[in-house]
Amino acid sequence: MRQPLVAGNWKMNGSRESIKALLDGIKAGIGAVNKAEVAVCAPYVYLADVQQQLNGSNVSWGAQNLSTEASGAFTGEISADMIKDFSCKYVIVGHSERRSLYGETDEIVAHKFEVARNAGLVPILCVGELLEEREKGITEEVVNRQLDAVINRVGIAALADGVIAYEPVWAIGTGKTATPDQAQETHAAIRQKLASMDAGVAEKVQILYGGSMNAGNAAELIGMADIDGGLIGGASLKSDDFLTIGKAAG
Ligand code: PEP
């Protein structure tokens, strides 16, 4: 049985002060989340604060990106080992904003997945189609291409060490959520694809939904058979909303 996971992606939001208040709120209410694991993915510069505040709590934490490189002359980059230094469990790879704004190709994303996994981090691999790709009816093709890049690099078995987040790009930060049926259709297709290569991996891998999930729609989405939780942007910045999503996941 897969444990639900509700992970917050704070993106480039917050301050030391606001993050302290947010984490205080999450810690105060986390006892009411029974089944789901709750995690927050913070901006790098706040990881030390997050580690200090969440150490010993039931909340996990992680980063939002990492370098493909281990160390050296890569100004502004952050390596997997640096992220590990702050006891992060998770790192997001291939978020659509990294793909579209920073030119991350499927191959770069696959490389990041590999580097994260080799460092003992759990990569949260984001996949998802643009609006025009959905309208053309090529959602599955796009998601398969994004997954294949990773599978070709690390092998199917390695996928079991990560988490997949299906995030239709048209639903991210737009307030437009995929319907539970739309999301389930793609989640089921992802799981079937994995199952055709390795049934054990397909059974184990958590597939999160991301894209305007909020306190009002989470229960219905996470209630679908192949939706194992959520990757939450905007609603993860308010502790009450975020915890409501955590509770909706069990
Ligand atoms: C995200 O950034 O991964 C995301 C799903 O954002 P939002 O929840 O704000 O749509």
pLDDT digits (tens, 9 = 90+) for 190-206: 999 999 999 999 999 99
Is residue 167 part of the annotated active site? The answer reads yes
Distance from residue 100's CA to the centre of ligand 1 (Å): 14
pLDDT band at 1 (very low <50, low <70, confident <90, very high): confident
In short, whether 210's Cβ falls inside 6 Å of ligand 1 is yes
For residues 3-27, b (16+ Cβ closer than 10 Å) or e, as one string?
ebbbbbbbbeebeeeebbebbeebb
In short, whether 212's Cβ falls inside 6 Å of ligand 1 is yes
Nearest CA to 89 out of 57, 116, 49 is that of 116
What is the C-alpha to C-alpha distance for residues 16 and 133, in angstroms, rounded to an integer? 39
Are the C-beta atoms of residues 237 and 22 closer than 8 Å to each other?
yes
Distance from residue 73's CA to the centre of ligand 1 (Å): 32
Distance from residue 71's CA to the centre of ligand 1 (Å): 30
Q: Compute the radius of gyration of the chain from its Cα atoms.
A: 17
In short, whether 173's Cβ falls inside 6 Å of ligand 1 is yes
Are the C-beta atoms of residues 85 and 50 closer than 8 Å to each other?
no
In short, whether 154's Cβ falls inside 6 Å of ligand 1 is no
Whole-number pLDDT of residue 213: 97
pTM of the model as a whole? 0.98
pLDDT digits (tens, 9 = 90+) for 143-168: 999 999 999 999 999 999 999 999 99
Mutate which of 101, 125, 232, 242 for ligand 1? The one with the most ligand atoms within 8 Å of its CB, which is: 232
pLDDT band at 169 (very low <50, low <70, confident <90, very high): very high
Q: Atom 6 in ligand 1: which residue has the minimum CA distance?
A: 233
pLDDT band at 174 (very low <50, low <70, confident <90, very high): very high
Distance from residue 167's CA to the centre of ligand 1 (Å): 8
Whole-number pLDDT of residue 183: 98
pLDDT digits (tens, 9 = 90+) for 13-50: 999 999 999 999 999 999 999 999 999 999 999 999 99
In short, whether 178's Cβ falls inside 6 Å of ligand 1 is no
Residue 250 scores a pLDDT above 90: no
Q: Atom 4 in ligand 1: which residue has the minimum CA distance?
A: 233
Q: What is the mean pLDDT of the chain?
A: 98
- Encoded tokens for 4: 């639900």
**Options 37, 129, 167, 187, the catalytic residue:** 167
Place of tokens 């709590």: 57
